[in-house]
Amino acid sequence: MQMKDKRALVIGVSNGLGVVFGKELLRNGVASNIVEKISDVFKESVKELGGLDIIINNAAMIDERNFHQSIDTNVTAVFRANMLGVQFMGKDCGGRGGVIVNVASVLGLEAFPQLPVYSATNNALIAFSRSFSQPYHYQRTGVRIVVLCPGLTDSKALECLKNDKLVTRLEDLSEAMKDIQPQR
C-alpha cells in the first residue's frame, strides 16, 4: 500500500507501540489523527482529514483484578472501533475502503496462566479479527482487517505488573513466552 497522502486514525498512542506507529505514519506522509480514547473521534477525524484510509487500534491494558475495565478496553472498544471504521471507510457506505490494524498480543495465541484476563481478551480480539478479515466482509466493504500479535513491549501496560503477585518478575514473563510459537 502506498502510504503517502493516506489518512490515518491511531487509537492508543500514549506510549509503547502507539508512539512508534504514530511517528512512522507521519514520517511516511500519512495525515494522521492520533487519539487516546474513542468518543466522537471518527466523525472528528473524517471531518479534519477528509476521510480515513487506515485505522490502528492499539489501546490496551493489563489489569487482572479489574477485568470489567480490561474487557471494555481490550475487547469492546476495539470491536466498536472496527464497526465504526467499516462504517466510515466501507465502500458499501460510500467510503474508499481501507485497512484496520488491530494490535493484540502473542499472549492471546496460547493460554497464559499468569495473565488469564489479558490472554483471554487478546484471544477474543484475534478471533474477531480473523472472522472479520474473511472475504465475505472484504468483498462487501473493501476494508481489510489485519491483526498483529507482538510480544511484550516496553509500555505503561507493564507498569501494573511490577508489584503484582501473579507475576513475580517481568523476566518470568519473558521466560514463559519463549516457547510460544507464531501461528501460521
What does the chain come to in residues?
184
Helices (H), 56-97: 67-71, 77-89
Count other C-beta atoms under 10 Å from residue 147's C-beta.
21
138: annotated active-site residue: no
From the candidates 21, 88, 112, 118, give the one annotated as an active-site residue.
118
State the first-to-last Cα distance of the chain, in angstroms, to the nearest integer: 22
* The three three-digit cell numbers of residue 18, written as one number: 502507539
CA 122 to chain centre: 10
Q: Which helix (H) or strand (E) holds 135?
A: helix 135-141
Cβ atoms of 119 and 181 closer than 8 Å: no
Give the catalytic positions in this structure. Answer: 118
